[in-house]
Amino acid sequence: MVEKLAKILLPIMLLLHLHPLQNLWGHDFQERFIQHQLQVQVSPINIDFHLELGFFGDRAAQERLLMDLDSNGQINLNEESTYLRRLVLSIRNKIYVKLGKHQLPTPLLFYPKMNLIINRDVKPLPLKITVSFFARTPSPISPKIPLIIENRVFKNQPAVHNVIANGTDGMHVRLDPIQNYVIEGTDSVFIFTIHCLTTKKDLG
């Protein structure tokens, strides 16, 4: 009986906690934002995009709640897998790469990786999800024609973006200055530009 009651009450309590009314007992504003850490690796053959999505505080709790299908307050491996499978469907083709007027296909690369940071509770505890995409490096590629990249993953959610671009196997990459790292509104797209330059020595 107690278990049944808990099963019913727990999600309701959590939903209440996520409701704007929770402002009454406070939260950190910054936690509304999903942190997008995008690593772009350009080789002569492929351009790989590894995007780490960081969820914090109440925003993390929301995502954990979505995973907890049996509403027992704990996320098991099956629930994690189900969540990731749904995520895969929602993020397909959400990285755009344009070279001049041409848009390059950007399939998913690796299957998403979940990091619940040890704790599987449905609580406001951080979590990270890494998703990967790739495009084929256009050939020839000139520094004068930049690659314009759009990150549309979770584009309806406020986000703070960060990009690191590296060249490998002889490629050297320059990232143009980014005007706005913070996307506060909805339906906004984070756009940046990289130029593929000549080889330069990197560490190692």
- Interface with other proteins by CB under 8 A: which residues? 20-21, 23-32, 35, 37, 39, 41, 46, 50, 54, 56-57, 77, 81, 84-85, 88, 92-93, 105-111, 113, 117, 124-126, 134, 160, 162, 164-166, 172-175, 177-182, 200-204
Decide whether 66 or 175 has the Cβ nearer to other proteins: 175
Q: Where are the alpha helices (DSSP H) in the chain?
A: 2-18, 57-67, 77-91
To the nearest whole angstrom, how small is the minimum distance from the Cβ of residue 203 to other proteins? 5
> Which residue, 139 or 179, has its beta carbon nearer to other proteins?
179
Minimum distance of other proteins from residue 7's CB (angstroms): 23
Return the structure tokens found at 37. 């850490």
Closer residue to other proteins (CB): 27 or 155: 27
Shortest distance, position 164 Cβ to other proteins, whole Å: 4
Q: Pairing mode, if any, of strands 113-115 and 127-136?
A: antiparallel
Contacts of 98 (CB under 8 A, 6+ apart): 104, 147, 148, 149, 150
Q: Which is nearer to other proteins, 100 or 105 (CB)?
A: 105
Do residues 104 and 120 make contact, with C-beta atoms less than 8 angstroms apart? no
Minimum Å distance from CB 125 to other proteins?
A: 7
The tokens of 47 are what?
């351009």
Q: Write down the least CB distance from residue 186 to other proteins, Å.
A: 14
Task: Note the residue count of the chain.
Answer: 204
Q: How far is the CB of 179 from other proteins (least distance, A)?
A: 7
* Residue among 33, 39, 49 nearest 182 (CA): 33
What is the spatial distance between Cα 119 and Cα 113, in angstroms, rounded to a whole number?
15
201 φ, ψ (degrees, to nearest 5): -70, 130
Q: Is the CB of 4 or the CB of 144 nearer to other proteins?
A: 144
| Neighbouring C-beta atoms of residue 81, cutoff 10 Å | 13
Write the single-letter amino acid at 62: Q
Residue closer to other proteins (CB basis): 125 or 148: 125
